[in-house]
Amino acid sequence: MTEVSTIGLDLAKNVFQAHGASAAGDVVFRRKLRRDQVLGFFAAQPPCLVAMEACPGAHYWGREIGKFGHTVRLIAPAYVKPFVKRQKNDAADAEAICEAAQRPTMRFVAVKSEAKQASAVVFRTRDILVGQRTQLINAIRGHLSEYGLIAPQGPFHVGRLIAHIEDPTSSVPEAARSCLALLVEGLRHLQEQIGALDAEISARAKADDTTRRLMTVPGIGPLIATAIEALAPPAETFRSGRDFAAWVGLTPVQRSMGGKERLGRTSRMGERTLRRLLIIAASAVVRWAKRKGVAKGSWLGRMLERKPPMLVIVALANKNARIVWALLTKGESYRAPAVPA
């Protein structure tokens, strides 16, 4: 019997599909597996390469299957799609995963540990709460604008609107005041929850040596440093700082052909949370530099002199991502570059 070399596993909620192939690419088996049969099936297989799409639950199955001595590889779904032949079904998907895993230049996603995934939950939770806070603020703004009451943009100015709601002498009708008070109560509760999460993130940042080193980079605080530690793969996964910046989605899209380079907008691939945080941090640094000034001859100063502000923000975020990769791989702290006299 031909020995299986690679198994492509198409994950599902209840019924999984496995496709086994030999080292030469010949089909060894095609099997449907119920959820309770998956681990028993792989326990009976000789150690081989097991490939899956990187999707919800993939890291759990990767850890469990890896305990049986198998080498587990996760592949981004976009890299699997070109290997699907004609009709799409579970068997075709499993075969495509198997073929994609056998390509010598295929890129894989690192399997995350339980601790790594647990560290990321705080950021996912915070994003949900911040989104709900924004919804409530927009609802309060929209309702009060119907009565001619407005305030400047930003969560810091919503207090003016809340004062109108809580003031019994304001022009807000009593019939609407009770409902708006519910929105205000929900907003304050969300503020408390977000504050508690921020305090937890700050405590984690102070307790970890890696995050303390990352916070030496201008514009990177506890939130971003902890997010990098929790959400980014190991720095050794990337060959260079540019590869890390490309994974975050801060490098331009290439549409080059015929020997001519054509660069477009930023790719926006990779981890959305890290990209957003790095751009927000860079925008704060750029605003401060435009208001307070920067050292003459510095990189940021030269960029601001000849480039639009938004382009400088993205470029600075890209640069910070590369610096972060260098600090993670070398185990050093940030040292500001010397400014030419």
Tell me the pLDDT tens digit for each residue of 140-151.
Answer: 999 999 999 989
- Selection from 29, 61, 62, 27 nearest residue 45 by Cα: 29
At 51 the pLDDT is 96
Question: Residue 236 above 80 pLDDT?
Answer: yes
At 119 the pLDDT is 84
At 339 the pLDDT is 59
What's the half-sphere exposure (Cβ side, CA atoms, 13 Å) at 297?
Answer: 5
Q: Most confidently modeled of 113-127, 185-199, 293-307? A: 185-199
Residue 207 contacts residue 193 (beta carbons within 8 Å): no
Average pLDDT over residues 314-339: 88
At 131 the pLDDT is 94
CA 49 to chain centre: 27
pLDDT 10s digits, 248-296: 998 888 777 777 877 777 877 878 889 999 999 999 999 998 888 887 7
* CB burial string 292-308: b at 16+ within 10 A, e below: eebeeebebeebbeeee
Give the containing element (helix H, strand E) for 21.
Answer: strand 15-21
| pTM score | 0.82
At 340 the pLDDT is 58
pLDDT 10s digits, 149-176: 989 888 889 999 999 999 988 889 988 9
